[in-house]
Amino acid sequence: MDCRKAEYYIRQRLDQLLSEEENAALEQHLACCEACAGELALQERLSMTLRELGREEIQAPPALSSLIMNNLRPQRRSTLAWLPVAWRKAVAAAATLLLLASGSAGVMNGLKLAGNGNNIVMESPTPNVAAVPEPGSAGGTTAPVDVASNDNEANPGGSDPGNAPGTISPETGEADKPGGNQISSPLAVAQNHQQTGNSGSPEGDIPAAEPAGNGTGISAPGPGSDRVLLSDEMKVTSTVLKITVDDLTTARTRAASLAAGVGAATQVFPEQTSGKTVLVMRFTVDSDKAPYLTEVLSGLGTPFHRQDEKRDLLPLYNETKVQYNELLERRDAATDSGERRQLEIQAASYKQLLDAWEEEAGKQVINLWLENK
Amino acid sequence: MHDPKTLVLKAQSNDLGAFEELVNLYQNKVYGLCLHLTGNPDDAQDLAQEAFIRAYKALGRFRNEADFGTWIHRITVNVWLNLQRKNNGRKPVYLDEPYPSDKSGGLQREVAALDGDPLQALEEKEFRGLVRTTLLGLSEEHRAVLVLREIEGYSYEEVSRMLNCSLGTVKSRLSRAREAMRREMTKRSREAGEA
């Protein structure tokens, strides 16, 4: 054996990968080669020293635990990560609306419902809310429009959807923290109910809503529209389905078409690009049609992840309703027009959430994650 | 006190107190790894904190049949690797291929130069100190694989899962890491001797 082969055997020996014969051959070489024997001794000393480092008792700083927990506690109140998928979507949509509403583009434009396929009370429709064609409906539900052709309209406030709260970073798979508009918004309510949510898998985070132009809109509700507390369950089943596809645009159009075929409401979120381009679509569909839709959507590409969850929205729904009714009372009592306007905006966003949850109760939500190959 | 699996289950049901117990159970283990990776207490504390927060966020994906300690170590090392790559502003450099200058065989010259190798003369304490400082000078990939395999004692299979690479890659990377460690130690030791 020459020194070069001995070098290889020494490395193997450090990991106990030598056979008896190989070990014997190495020993034979080491007996007559001082350099290689020294090298082995040195390598073994190095390994032993590293192992000893691992055996040292290292105590974490006393403050570490409290630092972590202090960090987590406010986080539970300030991010959407712990909300179940359905809630996160709705809350993110509401937060988006609040951002839009704070701009000059007009409140009502921003209050188009984030794609639950339901027409909601429109007390005073604004002239600049473009009418959206409805290509047909099925099962009594407003069918989704061609999502590929409605992107611009879907972002009526003209704000950058990428900056909307609750957007997802495809790179990290985690939701960005929502913006600063949460105070006295439904977010605050949602955040106080984290304990009923799921354990925030980053995979379940959904970007901020980009309504698919389903022609729905809401306005601040009028007097007497107080809601009655529900006493029953509000179960929502949701599925996250991630697939890789050859072409996002084709897959998106095909997915919308498949959803329309079973009367599902469609919602498209802004594309996110960071390395890979990701597009998330959200379908609300009758439970009996959900398995079929899930199956055909899976056929659009290569599925690589699926997660199902079932949640009871009732506690959050009831609390939101309480807040909503209080807002209505405050709005009716307000004498200042500016304050009244603000309260209307807030109430409208609450209403949107409540409507979305009502619409989704008993149905299945499919969050389709399309990713470029 | 509950066992880790029960605590994980509770934490997965949003029991923050249970997660706090998990933190208390595993903080020394995690902090120890962080210290070996970063080399200084402040960075180690930051890394440990970030690792636990990531673990908390991803708890829903954790399958409880696995070992929580291994899982959070995996998160820790990956958070650290990503941070290093981000801070360095470059893609990871995997030194799994032979060194360009090693055409004649990496150890050959080292072996030939062993006469009077300054490493052999080092006292235990000096040797250990040199190991520590040299480890921190290695590339992040080499450091990670050495720390996980040699210091933390994970098997090749576990290391390959933790680093998301093949078993063969782990073996070759480990071999290269040892070689780089050995070479750098000799260099540093010589420099110290000449100074």
- Write down the pLDDT at residue B144: 94
- CB contact under 8 Å between A65 and B23, yes or no, is yes
Tell me the average pLDDT across A16-28: 88
- Write down the pLDDT at residue A345: 80
Q: What is the pTM of this model?
A: 0.46
- Write down the pLDDT at residue B121: 67
Biggest CA–CA distance in chain B, Å, is 62
- Helix-then-strand count for chain B, H and E: 9, 0
The per-residue pLDDT for range A95-107, each reduced to its tens digit, is: 444 433 333 232 2
Q: Of B119, B182, B115, B190, which is closest to residue A33 (Cα–Cα)? A: B115
pLDDT of A127 > 60? The answer is: no
- CB contact under 8 Å between B31 and A39, yes or no, is no
Tokens of A286: 């009758």
pLDDT of A203 > 70? The answer is: no
pLDDT of A182 > 70? The answer is: no
The per-residue pLDDT for range B20-63, each reduced to its tens digit, is: 999 999 999 999 999 999 988 888 999 999 999 999 988 888 88
Q: Which residue shows structure tokens 């065989």?
A: B105
A129 to A105, A106, A156, B132: CA distances (angstroms): 11, 10, 8, 66
- CB contact under 8 Å between A42 and B119, yes or no, is yes
- Write down the pLDDT at residue B14: 84
Residues of A in contact with B178 (CB under 8 A): 11, 14, 43, 46-47
Euclidean distance between CA atoms A151 and A272, whole angstroms? 14
- CB contact under 8 Å between B153 and A69, yes or no, is no
- Write down the pLDDT at residue A74: 54
- CB contact under 8 Å between B45 and A61, yes or no, is yes
Residues of A in contact with B55 (CB under 8 A): none
- CB contact under 8 Å between B185 and A68, yes or no, is no
Q: Regarding predicted confidence, which is higher, A5 or B121?
A: A5
Euclidean distance between CA atoms B4 and B175, whole angstroms? 35
3-state SS, chain A, equals CCHHHHHHHHHHHHCCCCCHHHHHHHHHHHHHCHHHHHHHHHHHHHHHHHHHHHHCCCCCCCCHHHHHHHHHHHHHHHCCCCCCHHHHHHHHHHHHHHHHHHCCCCHHHHCCCCCCCCCCCCCCCCCCCCCCCCCCEECCEECCCCHHHCCCCCCCCCCCHHHCCCCEECCCCEECCCCCCCCCCHHHHHHCCHHHCCCCCHHHCCCCCCCCCCCCCCCCCCCCCCCCCCCCCCEEEEEEEEEEECCHHHHHHHHHHHHHHCCCEEEECCCEEECEEEEEEEEEEEHHHHHHHHHHHHCCCEEEEEEEEEEECHHHHHHHHHHHHHHHHHHHHCCCHHHHHHHHHHHHHHHHHHHHHHHHCCEEEEEEEEEEC
Give contacts of A 26-55 with B, CB under 8 A.
34-36, 38-39, 41-43, 45-47, 49-54
CA distance A169 to chain B (A): 15
Euclidean distance between CA atoms A309 and A318, whole angstroms? 21
pLDDT of A219 > 60? The answer is: no
- Write down the pLDDT at residue B27: 94
For residue A363, the cross-strand partners are: A286
In three-state secondary structure terms, B172 is helix
Q: How confident is the model at residue A348 (pLDDT cuts 50, 70, 90)?
A: confident
Residues of B in contact with A75 (CB under 8 A): 53
- Mean per-residue pLDDT over chain A, rounded: 63
pLDDT of A56 > 80? The answer is: yes
- Write down the pLDDT at residue A330: 83
ipTM above 0.85, yes or no: no
- Write down the pLDDT at residue B29: 94
- Write down the pLDDT at residue A176: 35
Q: What percentage of residues in chain A have a pLDDT greater than 70?
A: 57
Interface check B176 vs A, CB under 8 A: no
- Write down the pLDDT at residue A206: 32
CA distance A312 to chain B (A): 14
Give chain B's end-to-end CA distance (angstroms, integer).
55
The per-residue pLDDT for range A239-285, each reduced to its tens digit, is: 889 999 988 888 988 898 898 888 888 888 777 776 778 888 888 88
Tell me the average pLDDT across A179-195: 34
pLDDT of A114 > 80? The answer is: no
Euclidean distance between CA atoms A272 and B73, whole angstroms? 30
CA distance B162 to chain A (A): 18
- Write down the pLDDT at residue A188: 34
CA distance A191 to chain B (A): 13
- CB contact under 8 Å between A7 and B111, yes or no, is yes
Residues of A in contact with B135 (CB under 8 A): 50
Q: How confident is the model at residue A287 (pLDDT cuts 50, 70, 90)?
A: confident
Residues of B in contact with A72 (CB under 8 A): 16, 19, 53, 56
pLDDT of A236 > 60? The answer is: yes
Q: Regarding predicted confidence, which is higher, A158 or B108?
A: B108
Interface residue of A7, A58, A82 to substitute, partner B, most B CBs within 10 Å:
A58
The per-residue pLDDT for range A81-96, each reduced to its tens digit, is: 333 334 444 555 554 4
A to B CB pairs, distance under 8 Å: 148
Interface check A78 vs B, CB under 8 A: no
Q: At A42, which amino acid appears? A: L
Q: Regarding predicted confidence, which is higher, A169 or B193?
A: B193
Interface check B108 vs A, CB under 8 A: yes
Residues of B in contact with A39 (CB under 8 A): 107, 110-111, 114
Euclidean distance between CA atoms A181 and B158, whole angstroms? 45
Interface residue of B35, B99, B114 to substitute, partner A, most A CBs within 10 Å:
B114
In three-state secondary structure terms, B73 is helix
Interface check A76 vs B, CB under 8 A: yes
- Write down the pLDDT at residue B72: 94
Residues of A in contact with B150 (CB under 8 A): 47, 50-51, 54
Interface residue of A53, A67, A71 to substitute, partner B, most B CBs within 10 Å:
A53
Among all residues of chain B, which has the CA nearest to that of A63?
B45
Low-confidence residues in chain B, pLDDT < 70: 1, 88-118, 120-121, 193-195
- Write down the pLDDT at residue A305: 87
Among all residues of chain B, which has the CA nearest to that of A12?
B175
Of B24, B49, B115, the CB nearest to A67: B49
Of A34, A39, A58, the CB nearest to B32: A58
In three-state secondary structure terms, B41 is helix
